[in-house]
């Protein structure tokens, strides 16, 4: 391949020179992330450095007649139609399996506990009241987490970090993962046991065809009344209809989400979960900021750019 062209829609604010390594092998054009613009521009590019805010869907992949590779500086790839890319022979580069790099990134596990305390101490709602001069502290009486049971579904990199943090807060920690593990201070249990014994449940699972909708009606029925649910993985893991029912009934006492299924839709204001959160105080949602720290994004973008540069060199 002669000198290629790379379309970049990733935000380079954390590291403006992160893509400099591509200069030796390709011409890079950076534009703001926009779905319509992506479809219009992709026919003229060999590579796409992806933004999480737009989707490399069928419209994009069908339009990218010369597209050979998509790079994303993320572990998740649900913003990319990976199956169609594979069918079209388009390589997808991510950092999903770059464990030495990922072990430096604690931001998402940290946010798990940010969301947890937002739920159990009602911090967002207490802050709203304080800003209005309402000092009604008894309205925001919450719970301490010490001596509660913290259940982790998915004992991978982030699950292990969350276990360390939970133990620091004096919680009993149990975890479920299909891969056997042994860890001092963490009890491995089956999923049904975890659902039934946990006061707090944290999801740290990759979204696949097998895990999509894994938390649904039956799983909510098995949970303790008033359980706290934290999801910093992917929205598609949870059956939305069952989840809303559990929130409304109090089966789920509170939930903290960093993502929701359908976060690319243009009418997010009317998303059922966002609509619910506007009128209830047992749901806290953040806009997929788990990995959005300067430290994490700077390293992830630069590392992914180097992987993309190596791949483009391999084509020459």
Q: Is 263 a catalytic residue?
A: yes
Given 263, 271, 297, 302, the catalytic residue: 263
Given 234, 261, 297, 302, the catalytic residue: 234
Longest dimension (CA), the chain: 68
> Could you tell me if residue 250 is left (phi over 0), alpha (psi between -120 and 50 degrees) or otherwise beta?
left
Q: Is 288 a catalytic residue?
A: yes
Q: Each residue of 60-81: b (16+ CB within 10 Å) or e?
A: bbeebeebbbbbbbbbbbbbbb
Please give the Cα distance from 232 to 20 (Å, whole number): 31
Which alpha helices (H) appear in 6-55, and where do they start and end? 35-41
SS3 of residue 49 by DSSP? strand
Q: Is 3 a catalytic residue?
A: no
Given 172, 261, 271, 288, the catalytic residue: 288
- Provide φ and ψ at 240, rounded to 5°: -65, -40
Please give the Cα distance from 19 to 22 (Å, whole number): 6
E strand or H helix at 81, and its extent?
none
Would you please indicate which residues are annotated as catalytic (active-site) residues? 234, 263, 288
């Amino acid at each position: 391949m002669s000198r290629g062209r790379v379309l970049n829609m990733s935000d380079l604010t954390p590291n403006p020179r992160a893509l400099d390594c591509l200069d030796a092998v390709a011409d890079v054009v950076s534009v703001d992330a926009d779905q319509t613009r992506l479809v219009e521009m992709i026919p003229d590019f060999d590579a796409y450095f992806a933004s999480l805010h737009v989707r490399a869907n069928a419209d994009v992949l069908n339009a990218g007649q010369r597209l050979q590779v998509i790079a994303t500086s993320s572990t998740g790839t649900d913003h990319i139609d990976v199956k169609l890319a594979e069918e079209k022979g388009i390589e997808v580069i991510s950092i999903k399996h770059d464990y030495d790099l990922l072990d430096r990134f604690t931001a998402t596990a940290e946010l798990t506990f940010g969301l947890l305390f937002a739920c159990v101490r009602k911090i967002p709602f207490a802050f709203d009241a304080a800003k209005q001069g309402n000092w009604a502290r008894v309205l925001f009486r919450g719970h301490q987490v010490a001596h509660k049971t913290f259940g982790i579904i998915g004992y991978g990199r982030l699950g292990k970090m969350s276990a360390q943090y939970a133990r620091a807060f004096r919680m009993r920690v149990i975890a479920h993962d299909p891969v056997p593990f042994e860890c001092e201070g963490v009890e491995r249990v089956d999923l049904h046991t975890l659902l039934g014994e946990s006061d707090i449940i944290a999801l740290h699972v990759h979204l696949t065809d097998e895990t999509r909708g894994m938390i649904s009606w039956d799983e909510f029925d098995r949970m303790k009344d008033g359980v706290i649910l934290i999801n910093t993985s992917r929205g598609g893991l949870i059956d939305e209809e069952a989840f809303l029912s559990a929130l409304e009934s109090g089966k789920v006492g509170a939930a903290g989400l960093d993502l929701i299924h359908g976060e690319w839709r243009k009418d997010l204001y009317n998303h059922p979960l966002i609509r619910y959160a506007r009128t209830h105080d047992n749901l806290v949602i953040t806009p997929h900021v788990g990995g959005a720290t300067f430290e994490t994004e700077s390293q992830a973008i630069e590392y992914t750019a180097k992987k993309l540069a190596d791949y483009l060199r391999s084509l020459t």
